[in-house]
Amino acid sequence: MSNEPVSEWDQWLAENAGRFLLFSRQQTRGDEDAQDVLQDALIESWQRGGGRPESALVFATIRRRAIDLGRRHDRRTRREEEAAPDQDVWFDSAVHDRETAMLLEEAVRTLPKELCDVITLKVWGDLTFAEVAETLGIPQGTAATRYRTALMQLRKSLSPVLL
């Protein structure tokens, strides 16, 4: 087999794994689930795209696989649900910005899920409103409205660092 697809895969992972993982973490109950969902979604998207896939396809696949996993979770006992709290931070930060990064993570975590999804896909997923709408199965206008609402809520939560 040629080495070319492997190196392109590696390069694609290096460029994008962080933002895909952030979204996967938000769609699942813990880091292990997030990693499993992400791995499966990346492979599926890569194969469906015949190589480097569109970001919107990857996010939509992560979301679908996370929903499937959630359903399977619901059917069995949730034994490890509270046992393994997330240890990994969501955002990269310099030392002097660490406190702000933690505040931001907390603020994003406490957003209603529908707002969290939109803000994550738009800001860190780098999707257009059209792509956000397609990924989440909502109208574009709704995506834009949720984005604005999320910003307003985040502004309240982050007011200590916005002054």
Partner 1 sequence: MNNEPHDTDSVEVLLQRFRPAPPKEVFMQRLRSVCPVLTAVPDPKRMKVIVFPFLLARLAAIAAAVAAGLITWHLMQPPGEVPAVPAGTVTTRVDNGQQAPRKSTQRLMGVRDMGIARDEQRRPVRLMHATWIDDDVYLNAPGEEPVREARVREEIVPVVLNDF
**Running DSSP on this structure, what letter comes out for residue 116?**
H
Residue 67 interacts with partner 1 (CB under 8 A): yes or no: no
Q: Give 15 or 78: the residue with its C-beta nearer to partner 1.
A: 15
Measured from the Cβ of residue 24, the count of other Cβ atoms closer than 10 Å reads: 26
Contacts 24+ apart (CB under 8 A), 45-54: 46/9, 46/12, 51/5, 51/8, 52/8, 52/12
* Beta carbon of residue 74, minimum distance to partner 1 (angstroms, whole number): 26
Q: Give 22 or 62: the residue with its C-beta nearer to partner 1.
A: 22
Q: Which residue has the tokens 């697809």?
A: 5
41, 57, 104, 111: which one binds partner 1 (CB under 8 A): 104
State the Cα–Cα distance between residues 30 and 85, nearest whole angstrom.
7
Q: Which two tokens stand for residue 69?
A: 């996993």
> CB–CB of 135/120 below 8 Å?
no
Q: By CB under 8 A, what part of segment 116-155 binds partner 1?
A: 119, 123-124, 128-130, 139-142, 144-145, 147-148, 151-152, 154-155
Q: Applying CB under 8 A, which residues contact partner 1?
A: 1, 5-6, 9-10, 13-14, 17-19, 21-22, 35, 38-39, 42-43, 46-47, 50-51, 88-93, 97, 100-101, 104, 119, 123-124, 128-130, 139-142, 144-145, 147-148, 151-152, 154-155, 158, 161-162
